[in-house]
Amino acid sequence: MIRLHRKVPKVLLYHSVMLLICIFFLFPLYYTVTNALKVERLIIAYPPVWSFQPTFEHFIKAIVNYRLHDCLVNSFIISFFATMMGLGIAAFSSYALVRYRQRKIALIILISTMIPYIICIIPLYALFYKVGWLDTYHGLIFTHLIITVPQSVWVLMGFVEGIPKELEEAATIEGCSRTKAFLYIVFPLIKPGLVAAGILCFSVSWNDFMFAAVLAGRYTTTAPLGLYNFLGKQIIDWGGVSAGATIMIIPAIIFVLLIQKQLVRGLTIGGI
């Protein structure tokens, strides 16, 4: 009985501290979503209004005037293909890097996950300008490989390391070639790794603003760039910005809730 008495307040304390922290972390999201539902007049009201009649005019404006859905589609196309290509390359090379202990190449991969991407974009911009690849899907997908290839190789290497070598050795003794051993034994085993790496790459590539700001144009505007273009030269359309932000936050939240396990795995393996 006594123990119970001592334990209950402690749990309450943990919960209240964590709730305070979570309010700090979630309040901006709440504020943005409510702003998106307010009429323009109420957004710029001071002090802030907390109860109001919700309206969807800003969402309609974001779609009709700013064509945010086109940007989302562009973003999806670019991130999806870049991620797939990255994974395809990484599946093979992560295996080779781990099994043949190519330490130096692994080191180069690690370094390339962390370079400031702008140093690659400056020359690529000059080059694309000459070749006419500015404002094209293939140009953007090509540059997004800068992000996805090293990231996915690095995460996948962590997974390949966890696969016992004996499995393949048994297969090769049975008369299987190494390539086949890879395709039929190792490849199915690293599928969870492919998922984790894919999620990480996709989100990094989706979040990118700089590549698009430099290389995209009217036809390939990605979602972050499209949202940035909401900001006018003089007047800022706060309602439109909040609505666009809301549209982009909600998939992120659903994404996190659905795949948090793989996400944590990808992050920790990539980190350590």
Partner 1 sequence: MLRKCGHNMRERLRSFGEWADLQIKWLFNLPLFMALGLTVFFPIAYAFALSFSSWFMVANPSPKWFTFGNYIKLLGDRRFIAAVIRTLHFTSTAVGIEFILGLAIALLLNYEFKGRKIYRVLLLIPMMCVPMVIALMWRTMFNYTFGVINYLMEVVGFSKIEFLGNPKVVIFSIVLVDVWQWTGFITIIILAGLYSMPKAPLEAALMDGANRRQCFIYVTIPSIRSHIGAAVILRSIGAFKIFEVIWGMTEGGPNFASETLYPFTYAHTFRYYYIGYGSAAGVVFFLIILGINMIFIYLRRSK
| Interaction residues for partner 1, span 100-159 (CB under 8 A) | 100, 102, 105, 107-112, 114-116, 118-127, 142-143, 145-146, 149-150, 153
| Amino acid identity, position 82 | A
Residue 236: strand pairing partners: 231
90 near partner 1, rule: CB under 8 A: yes
63 near partner 1, rule: CB under 8 A: no
Residues 6+ positions from 255 with CB-CB distance below 8 Å: 203
* Candidates 53-61, 64-72, 157-165, 264-272; binding stretch for partner 1 (CB under 8 A): 264-272
Of 23, 22, 26, 31, residue with least CA distance to 242: 31
Residue 231: strand pairing partners: 236
Most distant CA atoms of the chain, gap in Å:
79
- 221 in helix, strand or coil? coil
Indicate the residue among 21 and 64 with the shorter CB distance to partner 1: 21
* Candidates 45-53, 55-63, 132-140, 163-171; binding stretch for partner 1 (CB under 8 A): 45-53
Residues 6+ positions from 53 with CB-CB distance below 8 Å: 39
* Candidates 51-59, 156-164, 189-197, 238-246; binding stretch for partner 1 (CB under 8 A): 238-246
Contact 109, 154 (CB under 8 A): yes
The footprint of partner 1 on this chain (CB under 8 A) covers a number of residues equal to 96
Per CB under 8 A, the list member of 138, 209, 219, 232 interacting with partner 1 is: 209
Minimum distance from residue 134 beta carbon to partner 1 (Å): 12
Count the Cβ atoms, other than its own, within 10 Å of residue 53.
Answer: 8
Minimum distance from residue 182 beta carbon to partner 1 (Å): 8
Binding mask 157-176 for partner 1 (x = CB under 8 A): --------------------
Question: In 14-69, which ranges are E strands?
Answer: none
Q: Is 131 exposed, middle or buried (0-12, 13-18, 19+ CB in 10 A)?
A: exposed
* Candidates 55-63, 131-139, 155-163, 204-212; binding stretch for partner 1 (CB under 8 A): 204-212
191 near partner 1, rule: CB under 8 A: no
Instruction: Write the CA distances from 13 to 5, 10, 19, 24, 113, integer angstroms.
Output: 13, 5, 10, 17, 40
Minimum distance from residue 9 beta carbon to partner 1 (Å): 12
223 near partner 1, rule: CB under 8 A: yes
Per CB under 8 A, the list member of 79, 205, 220, 242 interacting with partner 1 is: 242
Of 74, 232, 83, 268, residue with least CA distance to 159: 268
44 near partner 1, rule: CB under 8 A: yes
* Candidates 63-71, 161-169, 190-198, 219-227; binding stretch for partner 1 (CB under 8 A): 219-227
